[in-house]
Structure 1
């Protein structure tokens, strides 16, 4: 039940205040029982949480939902085994919170590329906690929220340490809430006008591949329509145009019709278009790319998706699974992962790109922002999830990233929820799902780095090591207390006294 309650903190419900209570319930369930007994209730929490939160994965396949959610639930079971050990340490709620953060980092990176959905920090947008993202990063916010839950669980027993626990709660609450009194102020390195195109997908909106030429033409026509409005003087000319992921589902360099469509839109608008395209990489591989298409230079700078979806965009161990198991025959070629760390240069402005699920991972935006990106964009499709809460959840993650990195962020979705987000996470402009729209706004560019950019990065790098060390200390202390030694033998060199008896009279 507690796991299902935790899922209510995220869209479509979005009731943030259940989050610390659900974490407290999790800790209270497992903290005072034997480690081997803690696995089952921890796993039950994870099952209730992950299967509810990622219900939208059923849009891909029921078996994909069952497998992915079950795998992610296992991390909460493993964490539960660690909690009783950490309970033996002084200030144990701190170590439990560090372990929770380490668990989130681990499941966000492993196995394969991991699954970061459902991190605690992704539920704080539009709450008083949101400004803390700019100061301690998403990983730091998750750690502090987990600490609130652990402290609440520690406060429940009526013992002599409740005053200290209450003081700890007050301190952590202050760390989370005080940034709201003085939110991070982004600098200004000029302004840029960006237009995001949402072309829509015909039919029920879920199958881009079935109507891929129409999808590309929708982007083209929407951009040409924007160009006509610019010529008429009804709309200002943007500095660049953002197209979504899967704007072209075939290689625009190999397919003449797709190539000519992009050129027509480019000639009409007269500014660079950041095109989301599938590009061939030989006969066995494909790349999901954001390509800067310039009116004068043509196709140039590119970003390749860093985190393709396993069993969705590539098949791990293809030689083991083959390509005829279940729906794996729908993935004839594996998608290659990108490694780019520098931002794209779009009309002279360094822009950080993230393609679809990339936005939920820490590494891509971190690398590009610390290498000079002054704004960020998200190119996403999400068409198969259009009737699910995944659309809203990803939009909220994008807003959280804007706050964390202090960057304006533009989102172009093929038919989902496109939007332009300010650096404080506020929505400047948005388009309703399943509509054809072009949204635009002026955004403030910024090259400064928020404290949370670095703090979150180092928290993520250190929590795993700290957790391992804490568990080692707890286990060592337990072993020492568990050894029962016989009492020492005291040797006495004195002569024994004779035993005297009284004779009967």
Structure 2
């Protein structure tokens, strides 16, 4: 990757401050500087709110491009410190609105997580300010959005990928790009469109101030931004089936959403067993075709069937009634008394439980408590997480009847490598077992559904979402939703879905493009920061030379 060229190079004629219009802040009186500072802060916050509206349940995806453009304009020509503040002011309202589905846990949890996530946008804001002084800054701005997501997807405690630009564009013209480079490429295209739009707007503003014709930069920027949005239409999304399978997704429902959704022991399990037995009765009556497989959601059994005879018997009774292999989500005792495992278990009507998948990426503070001994003394609410979830050590590829599935559990659908590994290791259809009962009617389920739609396109696979209380869905390999349930209802979805063996380009290249872009963003920031230090040193030397008294003969 070639290093960016500084604005100090002779061939670069325009200076960032000249493009912005207002005079440098240092030339304005102190009250004027304060007003400008607060105005920029307010605009950054409004832009963050606009970005949140691009995501479900609002789904105004064009706002993702406009929000990126706004932050690029606000940080253009600023100092790194000011850029960091603007990024933080952008990030806090963005995440508070996006993650408002956490409110059943508590608004303090929503705000606390939002502040942590906004720190990454603060770092990006500083980077945007630094690289805005480089030639080709729209490119480096787009790269930095990927860098920020790359960091946030991994840190801290394994990261939290919610709020990636790609997840706001799971039903937009940009979506097919996921088949080429996954979510990082979609993010890069969204951000690139936004920064090019900012570049065009700056050129147009300069032309208006100087009463000249619109420069070529305006046309190139606008056309480039539009081209990035539309280029996805040229990307073929593989959908042809090598085989098919008849599936039934059982949504048994819970009696009370919120933190105490499990209710009484056996309650949730009995809901799913009863719904499965109703499916069996409908099959016997000829109302629906007999499925090849049945899929239950995460936590469908609230008791460990291997240690609780009643739970084992109830599951076995329901599976025998429907007469086909069933994927059962269950909480299973871990290797010691302090741990529990979140599993998907293949349950055969003749031989009982067989292969299983254990969730690899438990959610910190939700499914396990880091620094439990220390934090539980300060935050009493953490004591409600009585036992930590023990992570699995292998992917979710399992044989379920005639289908070789790639199982992921709940929030794992947000992590690129977990889903990609399941596909690359042989999963012909992606199954997402999930339990969102804590967050029903908050928008969280819609956001997770959007992620699953992107995964379908990225991997060219049908995606089957089985949820305890909604939203369960059947998603085609092109990302379209074939069927879905509502929330807080008992329902069964019956569908014929394709099984595919081919891999997309995104499957083959893996995380390589993301790492290249992310490291490119870090190098661009380092180059820009080094150039800024050199300029300041040169300015100080020049000032010292001017102050040196002249010698007389």
Using structure 2 for the length normalisation, give the TM-score. Answer: 0.84
* Other structure's SS at 2:202 match: coil
1:449-489, Cα deviation, whole Å (9 max, x unpaired): 112334562222223321222122222333344443679xx
Shift of 1:31: 2.0
- Correspondent of 2:319 among 260, 266, 285: 266
Q: Which residue of 1 aligns with 2:348?
A: 294
* Other structure's SS at 1:157 match: helix
Task: Determine which structure has more spread, i.e. the larger CA radius of gyration.
Answer: 1
Partners in 2 of 1:142 and 1:50 — Cα distance? 17
Partners in 1 of 2:225 and 2:542 — Cα distance? 46
Structure 1 pair 297–176 and aligned structure 2 pair: CA distance change class (3 A): farther
Answer whether contact 2:430 2:462 (CA < 8 A) is retained: yes
Matches of residues 69-80 of structure 1 in structure 2 within 5 Å?
69-80=114-125
Answer whether contact 2:257 2:438 (CA < 8 A) is retained: no
Does residue 406 of the first structure (1) align with residue 466 of the second (2)? no
Shift of 1:162: 5.2
Using structure 1 for the length normalisation, give the TM-score. Answer: 0.92
- Correspondent of 2:220 among 167, 174, 177: 167
* Other structure's SS at 2:506 match: helix
Partners in 2 of 1:175 and 1:38 — Cα distance? 26
* Other structure's SS at 1:322 match: helix
Q: Which residue of 2 aligns with 1:311?
A: 365
Does residue 255 of the first structure (1) align with residue 308 of the second (2)? yes
- Correspondent of 2:168 among 123, 141, 147: 123
Q: Which residue of 2 aligns with 1:157?
A: 202
Partners in 1 of 2:341 and 2:492 — Cα distance? 26
- Correspondent of 1:99 among 144, 155, 170: 144
Partners in 1 of 2:468 and 2:522 — Cα distance? 43
Partners in 2 of 1:419 and 1:129 — Cα distance? 22
Answer whether contact 1:199 1:218 (CA < 8 A) is retained: yes
* Other structure's SS at 1:286 match: strand
Shift of 1:402: 0.9
Q: Which residue of 2 aligns with 1:501?
A: none
Answer whether contact 2:197 2:221 (CA < 8 A) is retained: no
Q: Which residue of 2 aligns with 1:133?
A: 178
Answer whether contact 1:201 1:211 (CA < 8 A) is retained: no
Answer whether contact 2:292 2:402 (CA < 8 A) is retained: no
Q: Which residue of 2 aligns with 1:56?
A: 101
Q: Which residue of 1 aligns with 2:489?
A: 435
Comparing 187-196 with 150-159, which one deviates more in the overlay?
A: 150-159
1:24-55, Cα deviation, whole Å (9 max, x unpaired): 11111112111112222211100110111111
Q: Which residue of 2 aligns with 1:469?
A: 523
* Other structure's SS at 1:135 match: helix
Answer whether contact 1:39 1:78 (CA < 8 A) is retained: yes
Structure 1 pair 221–256 and aligned structure 2 pair: CA distance change class (3 A): same
* Other structure's SS at 1:56 match: helix
* Other structure's SS at 2:103 match: helix
Answer whether contact 1:197 1:242 (CA < 8 A) is retained: yes
Comparing 169-178 with 241-250, which one deviates more in the overlay?
A: 169-178
Answer whether contact 2:255 2:263 (CA < 8 A) is retained: no
Q: Which residue of 1 aligns with 2:57?
A: 12
- Correspondent of 2:418 among 360, 364, 379: 364
Q: Which residue of 2 aligns with 1:220?
A: 273
Partners in 2 of 1:131 and 1:294 — Cα distance? 37
Partners in 1 of 2:377 and 2:337 — Cα distance? 15
Partners in 2 of 1:3 and 1:75 — Cα distance? 14
Does residue 35 of the first structure (1) align with residue 35 of the second (2)? no
Shift of 1:254: 0.6
Shift of 1:204: 5.0
Partners in 2 of 1:427 and 1:206 — Cα distance? 29
Number of residue pairs matched by the alignment:
489
- Correspondent of 2:430 among 354, 362, 376: 376
Shift of 1:333: 1.2
CA RMSD of aligned residues (A): 2.2
Partners in 2 of 1:316 and 1:267 — Cα distance? 41
Q: Which residue of 2 aligns with 1:111?
A: 156
Partners in 2 of 1:406 and 1:351 — Cα distance? 14
* Other structure's SS at 2:264 match: helix
Does residue 345 of the first structure (1) align with residue 399 of the second (2)? yes
Shift of 1:297: 3.0
Structure 1 pair 181–470 and aligned structure 2 pair: CA distance change class (3 A): closer
* Other structure's SS at 2:86 match: helix
Shift of 1:416: 1.6
Q: Which residue of 1 aligns with 2:253?
A: 200
Q: Which residue of 1 aligns with 2:240?
A: 187
- Correspondent of 1:333 among 379, 387, 392: 387
Structure 1 pair 204–100 and aligned structure 2 pair: CA distance change class (3 A): closer
Answer whether contact 1:187 1:448 (CA < 8 A) is retained: no
Q: Which residue of 2 aligns with 1:85?
A: 130
Q: Which residue of 1 aligns with 2:285?
A: 232
Does residue 210 of the first structure (1) align with residue 263 of the second (2)? yes
Partners in 1 of 2:218 and 2:422 — Cα distance? 40
Shift of 1:235: 1.2
Structure 1 stretches (4+) deviating beyond 6 angstroms? none
Q: Which residue of 1 aligns with 2:113?
A: 68
Unaligned runs of 5+ in 2: 1-45, 208-213, 544-553
